[in-house]
Amino acid sequence: MASQGQVMFWRGCSQENSALGEEPGASLLPPHDPLPLTKSNHSNSCRHHSPAPHQNTSLQVCHFPASASFLSAALQTYARCKGGRLHRNSVFFFPNSTTTVIIILAAVIALIIGFGISGKRSINVTALTSPGNIGQSGLLGCTFEPDIWMGSIVIRWAKVGVAGLVHEFRGGKDHLQEQDVVFQGRTAIFADQVMGGNASLELREVQLSDAGTYRCSVTTSRGSGAAVLRYQTGAFSTPRVHVQTSSSGDTLGCKAPRWFPQPTVRWMAYSNAGKCLPHAANTSYELNSEDITVKVVSFLRHITANATYTCVIENSIAKATGNIKVTDFNITTETSLHVVNLNTESVSSSLPACHWMLLLPMCLLSI
């Protein structure tokens, strides 16, 4: 048999209230004078009790089975007892079930937490990066929704597989107590651009081992979010193209000082009429002093006038071209370098308050 709970409703009514059609009364009934329910009472019913001699208060006592929905049942019962309308005065209930008390306390705590975070939301954080060039400075791009409150902005950079942080910026200052030793002295945040939404990280003296997966986490007064990027490292450089003249004929040269991984080299030759010309190149690779990068040297012999020659050096992260246009009167050159594999990924991490509210029934059922 389900345990019974009791709910007591009372109202302190003055003559002014009586004029509004309510029952006259005085102060509230003290909590130490509850009237117990008896087995003769029927479920979800109410009884009216006249005030005791030392009290000037009318009392409505209702009882119902104690359950997870007892509060809703009590309110519905009270509305039925009072002619279908709820009054503005206080409602007190005294459940007999310990489980019911625990459920209500859990609900109250969940609501407090939910409304406490209702001002927070997920913010958009986006990461964009290009490959890092060994020995030079690189950039791990990260942007977020601008916030004028510098003191509330926290930026954390972390790398998968590294115990310490890459960089932390909080309250307008760097906080590097937890920075991993491999990044010490090599990182920086653009502090003057943070409020504008720039959380990008400068990485100086890029090393081959800096390649990996990085996470940019941002918290502001508006919420929090994070983005993940995959950072590639290597070596690439713009080629230098030139023409060598000798008694045996003119030779085109294409040289680039630093590449890693070892690139491929190919030549293209077209006449001014757009016809592909036969060509044969000689390419070599020379290891540089740091034993990582290579120097690229390629020559194309037996060139003719009124044609355009293109040297293409390419690996998995960069592509460089050198164009040489040869006419009867002059030679013009043009070079370019393009990095590839730009990547971006954004993740929102904060949980809005409405989601916490959706979890509330599950929390109650688990008790």
Which residue would you say has higher pLDDT here, 37 or 316?
Answer: 316
Residue 258 lies in a domain: yes
Q: What does 242-256 look like in DSSP terms, one character per residue?
A: EEEEETTEEEEEEEE
pLDDT confidence band for 361 (50 / 70 / 90): very low
Give just the sign of the alpha carbon dihedral 350, 356, 358, 359: positive
Q: Which of 215, 234, 253 is the last residue of a domain?
A: 234
Average pLDDT of every residue of the chain: 75
Q: How many domains does the chain have?
A: 3
Give the model's pLDDT for residue 362: 43
Q: Is the pLDDT of residue 173 over 50?
A: yes
Residue 104 lies in a domain: no
**Is there a single domain that holds both residue 23 and residue 47?**
yes
Q: Which domain holds residue 271?
A: 240-339
CA dihedral 256, 338, 212, 182 (to 10 degrees): 60
Residue 72 lies in a domain: yes
Give the model's pLDDT for residue 94: 43
**Is there a single domain that holds both residue 131 and residue 72?**
no
pLDDT confidence band for 207 (50 / 70 / 90): very high
Question: Mean pLDDT, to the nearest integer, of 323-352?
Answer: 75
**Is there a single domain that holds both residue 127 and residue 185?**
yes
Give SS3 for 132: strand
Give the model's pLDDT for residue 6: 43
Q: Which of 79, 96, 113 is the last residue of a domain?
A: 96
Q: Is the pLDDT of residue 90 over 60?
A: no
Residue 112 lies in a domain: no
Instruction: List the CATH number of the domain containing 128.
Output: 2.60.40.10
For residue range 256-305, what is the model confidence (pLDDT) as tens digits? 999 999 999 999 999 888 888 878 899 999 999 999 999 999 999 888 88
Which residue would you say has higher pLDDT here, 150 or 100?
Answer: 150
Which of 325-331's residues contact partners 24+ apart within 8 Å by CB, and which partners? 326/243, 326/250, 331/243
- Indicate the range of 40-44, 60-64, 240-244, 318-322 predicted with least confidence: 40-44
Residue 366 lies in a domain: no
Question: Mean pLDDT, to the nearest integer, of 338-345?
Answer: 69
Residue 103 lies in a domain: no
**Is there a single domain that holds both residue 200 and residue 258?**
no
Q: Is the pLDDT of residue 171 over 50?
A: yes
Question: Mean pLDDT, to the nearest integer, of 312-331?
Answer: 92
